[in-house]
Amino acid sequence: MSSELVEGGKTETSKRGEEYEYVEVVLQMPATGKVPTKATRKYKVAKTTEGKAKEWQPLSVEGKTVQIEKGAAGYDFTVDGRKLTYPDKAQLARTFRDNKKDEYGYIPPKQAVKVGESWTLTADDIKDMTGMGGNLDMSKTTQSCKLTRAYMRDSKQWGQITFVFDVGADLSKGAAPGTTGTGTMTLEGTLDVVIDGSARDMELKAVLKTSLDRTKDGVRQKGTSDATILKSVRTVR
């Protein structure tokens, strides 16, 4: 992921990469929802590169097993009895949080569709998937999801979905008085998934681009970012 922010005549650029490989064992699932309430993750690879760093840096969870459990105040992540903090728990915190569906579980259709058919998501689903919340501007949002292929793999019915989301945001909503601006987010790619939801297996390839143009406390901020997302989930047999 690379980003650029112009603020008060100064330009800041940064780059960030993440790579993870792990085996997750689900120990407890809720009655509803797809995010485990108790699990372990054994990380073979967990590394990042950020800012001016040119070399990949391992996180503390690399080579370790993380205990994941939902408590009264939310999810806890521990290794050898030690609670994780950022950045070591950043990836975990994105996945394990209250009311969150399985990652990108918003995209597959809620009803049966034929190859070539399209559908759209609700405003609430787009808010949750993008994290925009009350800033979402549906009047400036277009979207398309289409089932482009259906096939069998490992005795499961798979489907390939192509998707494009062009999402608009009103950055003045819920902001301090005098704050104005707009933002955009484009997410485009393909999602191969077990279409009936009977397994979490999936393959995701996507490109994410964002922009903002905001004035806050009399200072204009303009920024852009772009990222390539590759994710694969396989059930261990």
- The confidence score (pLDDT) of residue 193 equals 94
Tell me how far CA of residue 56 lies from CA of 45, 46, 134, in angstroms. 11, 10, 36
Give yes or no for a cis peptide into 87 (omega within 30° of 0): yes
Asked if residues 115 and 140 have their Cβ atoms less than 8 Å apart, the reply is no
Q: What is the pLDDT of residues 106-123, one digit of tens each?
A: 899 988 899 999 999 999
- The confidence score (pLDDT) of residue 100 equals 59
Euclidean distance between CA atoms 225 and 5, whole angstroms: 9
- The confidence score (pLDDT) of residue 178 equals 82
Euclidean distance between CA atoms 70 and 28, whole angstroms: 10
pLDDT tens per residue, the chain (237 residues)?
Answer: 788 888 877 888 888 888 999 999 989 988 776 788 999 999 999 998 876 556 888 989 999 999 999 988 889 999 999 999 888 888 898 888 765 555 677 899 988 899 999 999 999 889 888 888 889 999 999 999 999 999 999 899 999 999 999 999 999 988 888 889 999 999 999 999 998 888 888 999 999 999 999 998 888 889 999 999 999 988 876
SS (H, E, C) the chain: CEEEEEECCEEEEEEEEEEEEEEEEEEECCCCCCCCCEEEEEEEEEEEEECCCCCCEECCCCCCEEEEEEECCEEEEEECCEECCCCCCHHHHHHCCCCCCCCCCCCCCCCCCCCCCEECCCHHHHHHHHCCHHHEEEEEEEEEEEEEEEEEECCEEEEEEEEEEEEEEECCCCCCCCCEEEEEEEEEEEEEEECCCCCCCEEEEEEEEEEEEEEECCEEEEEEEEEEEEEEECCCC
Tell me how far CA of residue 6 lies from CA of 118, 210, 215, in angstroms. 38, 14, 12
Q: What is the pLDDT of residues 203-213, one digit of tens each?
A: 999 999 999 99
